[in-house]
């Protein structure tokens, strides 16, 4: 047995991803693998010796990048997330023709519901577009979750929740977004991007939110090349010694700053509002104030970016100043607000507020055109479609906190039992 065992490196081959740091496609795969907790090796294609070590030649044809070498030695040229996911065996088919509950989204609300539903005997499936954990899964350390006095990282919380849900028999279908839902008798059929159909007697939307896009000229061309939406956990190590800018005033932005401050030379947090108190937990505000390489700039917005093959400078305007300032930046992480993820719900016309958040309970039934069909009122967390529920950040009026989302997911299961009893078979 080895005497040298302190890096915990897997002893079997890892997938190797070869690409450039300015590649959007390579970032998408890094982000996907990182968020799914799948260890991999990253090789920068601009480093000839590193490339030679894995491929035997010093250069790779640019059109073949990103190139993924799977653990069995096979290679995927111009690799996509979908190809890598399939190559690593991450794509599973549903084992049943019908489930009692189909949950859309594997964030805290979805996983909270999955654990409770499966533990109570409901045949449960969770469909997830990217990776378990949702936005919370990219959080470096959640310190206000009950029962974790020293905090727990978002990725570890997601890992444990997935293990727990699976132990009770819940299935998780990963790496395929929901593309549509349609009525199917008293239940529903959910269609996934690869054509997989999932039947559920009840559906829970726990699909969360995605980051709001920053409206700055040229930003889309820099995605993955220095500009990232979310906390970008795959990029933390790459930020060693660099200048990092984070945009946002919520807990996700604050936690991203804490993480990057451990690696970066300087982290600047840009906040549009007058102070952080309105949107960030006090414990995070206190932490930020004690980190020497963190600067918080309030009343500040990004107005421009400068780049060559990747981001170099963030141009900001602060307060009442008319003169923009230039911040040297190797990476910009955007953690602002959120847009509810309800794309797949269009087919069943769920009632939503003007921002797109799903209405539940009496609010949904009262909405003009909601067409609530039953003599009873909708249950709390039930949308305007009987048997379709919503929980967590995607729901109008939800509290945007991890513990609240877990609670809503758990609460939804109790209500779903009532719905299933109504249609028989529960």
Q: Which stretches of the chain bind another protein, using CB under 8 A? A: 1-12, 34, 37-39, 71, 89, 140-141, 150, 152-153, 155-156, 159, 163, 166-167, 233, 236, 258-259, 262-263
Residue number, 90 or 179, with CB nearest to another protein: 90
- Structure token digits, residue 97: 């023709």
| C-alpha to C-alpha distance for 246 and 253, rounded to whole angstroms | 7
Q: Crossing angle, helix 108-119 and helix 402-423, to 10 degrees?
A: 40
Residue number, 153 or 383, with CB nearest to another protein: 153
Report in angstroms how near the CB of residue 255 gets to another protein at its nearest.
9
Residue number, 6 or 286, with CB nearest to another protein: 6
Residue number, 286 or 308, with CB nearest to another protein: 286
Report in angstroms how near the CB of residue 37 gets to another protein at its nearest.
5
Report in angstroms how near the CB of residue 212 gets to another protein at its nearest.
25
Report in angstroms how near the CB of residue 83 gets to another protein at its nearest.
19
Q: Which of 231, 238, 192, 235 is nearest to 211 (CA)?
A: 231
Report in angstroms how near the CB of residue 1 gets to another protein at its nearest.
4
Report in angstroms how near the CB of residue 236 gets to another protein at its nearest.
6
Paired residues of 204 in beta bridges: 103, 389
Residue number, 37 or 380, with CB nearest to another protein: 37
| C-alpha to C-alpha distance for 375 and 373, rounded to whole angstroms | 7
Residue number, 11 or 373, with CB nearest to another protein: 11
Asked if 360 and 234 count as a contact pair (C-beta separation under 8 A), the reply is: no
Report in angstroms how near the CB of residue 15 gets to another protein at its nearest.
11
Residue number, 134 or 386, with CB nearest to another protein: 134
Asked if 302 and 324 count as a contact pair (C-beta separation under 8 A), the reply is: no
């Amino acid at each position: 047995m080895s005497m040298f065992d302190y890096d915990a490196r897997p002893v079997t081959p890892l997938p190797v991803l070869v690409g450039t740091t300015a590649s959007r496609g390579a970032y998408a795969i890094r982000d996907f693998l990182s968020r799914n907790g799948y260890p991999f090796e990253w090789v920068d294609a601009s480093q000839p010796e590193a490339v030679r070590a894995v491929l035997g030649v010093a250069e790779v044809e640019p059109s073949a990048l990103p190139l993924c070498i799977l653990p069995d030695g096979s290679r995927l040229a111009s690799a996509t997330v979908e190809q890598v996911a399939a190559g690593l065996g991450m794509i599973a088919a549903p084992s049943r023709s019908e489930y009692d509950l189909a949950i859309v989204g594997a964030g805290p609300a979805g996983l909270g519901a999955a654990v409770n539903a499966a533990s109570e005997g409901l045949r449960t499936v969770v469909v997830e577009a990217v990776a378990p954990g949702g936005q919370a899964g990219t959080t470096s350390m959640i310190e206000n979750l009950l029962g974790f006095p020293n905090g727990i990282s978002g990725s570890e919380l997601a890992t444990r929740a997935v293990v727990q849900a699976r132990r009770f028999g819940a299935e998780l279908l990963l790496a395929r977004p929901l593309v549509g839902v349609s009525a199917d008798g008293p239940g529903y059929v959910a269609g996934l991007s690869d054509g997989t159909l999932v039947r559920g007697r009840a559906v829970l939307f726990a699909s969360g939110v995605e980051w709001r896009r920053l409206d700055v000229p040229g930003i889309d061309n820099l995605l993955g090349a220095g500009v990232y939406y979310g906390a970008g956990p795959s990029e933390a190590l790459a930020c060693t010694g660099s200048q990092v800018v984070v945009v946002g005033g919520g807990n996700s932005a604050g936690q991203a700053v804490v993480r990057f401050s451990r690696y970066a030379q300087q982290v600047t947090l840009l906040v549009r509002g007058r102070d952080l108190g309105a949107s960030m937990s006090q414990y995070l505000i206190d932490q930020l104030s004690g980190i020497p390489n963190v600067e918080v700039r309030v009343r500040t917005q990004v107005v421009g970016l400068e780049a060559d093959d990747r981001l170099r400078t963030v141009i900001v305007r602060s307060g009442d100043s008319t003169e923009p300032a230039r911040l040297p930046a190797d990476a910009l992480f955007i953690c602002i607000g959120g847009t509810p993820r309800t794309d797949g719900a269009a087919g069943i016309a769920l009632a939503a507020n003007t921002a797109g958040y799903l209405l539940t309970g009496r609010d949904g039934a009262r909405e003009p055109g909601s067409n609530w069909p039953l003599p009873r009122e909708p249950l709390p967390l039930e949308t305007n479609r009987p048997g379709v529920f919503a929980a967590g950040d995607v729901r109008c009026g939800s509290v945007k906190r991890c513990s609240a989302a877990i609670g809503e997911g758990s609460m939804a299961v109790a209500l779903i039992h009532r719905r299933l009893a109504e249609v028989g078979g529960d």
